[in-house]
């Protein structure tokens, strides 16, 4: 086991147990907002969710500042330090296979093989985002299933587990670059690619890593503020007639994203909606 994982398993964590009324859609919205802080895992429950953060990185004032911006829901929490344990094992216990439109199943290698799906993705469900359970990842998987990637070079920004890059490669993509700011996500992406017998180029960093290479398709499942900042760069590295797929967005974000994409030569194609979350498809003209 690597020194990085040794450090991870020995870290002391604080647990926030959030109670949210109404639970929907405010549980998902709250998770998306506090994910800007260095929380490493979220587990939904009957009343809201638990969130886990390394004790040394915890900033309760920052958590409260985010909660105070949410005026349409009643949010309460209990905060406590919890004992050291194997967090990856705890996360794996709660991971269930995901089916997308009877076309794709996303499962862990400890789940039985399913033969009735054209595409099967096997992942090690470590605590990276992008396991497919969240609406935003689910909609991005739908976009990949609906479109042709044969022979294309693709970019997966904010890759998490790299499900999107892996599925595009399974659909015949020529090359996949996957970028994330989280070291755990990059390590997990390489492991998942190997499990699925595809090759991806996983890198630690952000859009500043992008150079002159042109991509035929870009997937960016991050959040509104980062997307607004990075859309000009995506447009630069997207080939003419290339496809840009964006998610990590709420329905209220649509107008701002549309305006920024239009300013950068990107033409709106379609929008998907799922429980107040949206995914968008643009083409560079």
Do the annotations mark residue 221 as ligand-binding? Answer: yes
Q: Of 207, 224, 216, 208, give the one whose Cα is nearest residue 157.
A: 207
CA Rg, the chain, in Å? 19
Residue 282 tokens, joined = 């643009």
Mapped onto helix, strand or coil, the DSSP state of residue 191 is helix
Element (H, E) at 83: none
Angle at 185 between CA 182 and CA 190, to 5 degrees: 135
Token pair of 113 as six digits = 């093989």
Of 232, 238, 239, 222, give the one whose Cα is nearest residue 259: 232
Q: How many helices (H) and strands (E) does the chain have?
A: 9, 14
**φ, ψ for residue 223, nearest 5 deg:** -155, 170
Residue 137 in marked binding region: yes
Flag whether 158 is marked binding: yes
Strand partners, 104: 100, 119
Annotated binding-site positions for S-adenosyl-L-methionine = 137, 158, 180, 221
- Indicate the annotated binding residues: 137, 158, 180, 221
């Amino acid at each position: 086991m690597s020194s990085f994982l040794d450090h991870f398993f020995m870290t002391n964590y604080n647990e926030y147990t959030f109670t949210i009324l109404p639970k929907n859609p405010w549980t998902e919205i709250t998770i998306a907002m506090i994910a800007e802080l260095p929380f490493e895992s979220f587990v939904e429950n009957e009343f809201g969710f638990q969130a886990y953060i390394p004790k040394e990185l915890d900033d309760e004032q920052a958590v409260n500042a985010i909660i105070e911006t949410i005026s349409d829901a009643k949010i309460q929490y209990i905060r406590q330090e919890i004992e050291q344990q194997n967090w990856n094992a705890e996360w794996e216990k709660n991971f269930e296979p995901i089916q997308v439109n009877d076309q794709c199943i996303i499962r862990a290698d400890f789940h039985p093989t399913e033969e009735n799906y054209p595409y099967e993705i096997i992942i090690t469900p470590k605590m990276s985002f992008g396991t497919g359970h969240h609406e935003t990842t689910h909609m991005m998987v739908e976009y990949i299933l609906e479109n042709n990637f044969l022979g294309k070079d693709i970019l997966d920004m904010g890759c998490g587990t790299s499900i999107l890059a892996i599925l595009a490669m399974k659909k015949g993509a020529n090359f996949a670059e996957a970028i994330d700011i989280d070291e755990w996500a990059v390590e997990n992406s390489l492991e998942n690619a190997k499990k699925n017998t595809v090759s991806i180029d996983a890198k630690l960093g952000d859009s500043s890593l992008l150079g002159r290479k042109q991509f035929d398709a870009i997937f960016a499942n991050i959040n509104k503020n980062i997307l607004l900042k990075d859309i000009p760069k995506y447009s630069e590295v997207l080939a003419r007639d290339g496809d840009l797929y964006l998610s990590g967005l709420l329905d209220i974000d649509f107008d701002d994203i549309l305006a920024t994409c239009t300013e950068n030569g990107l033409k709106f194609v379609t929008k998907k909606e799922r429980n107040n979350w949206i995914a968008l498809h643009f083409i560079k003209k």
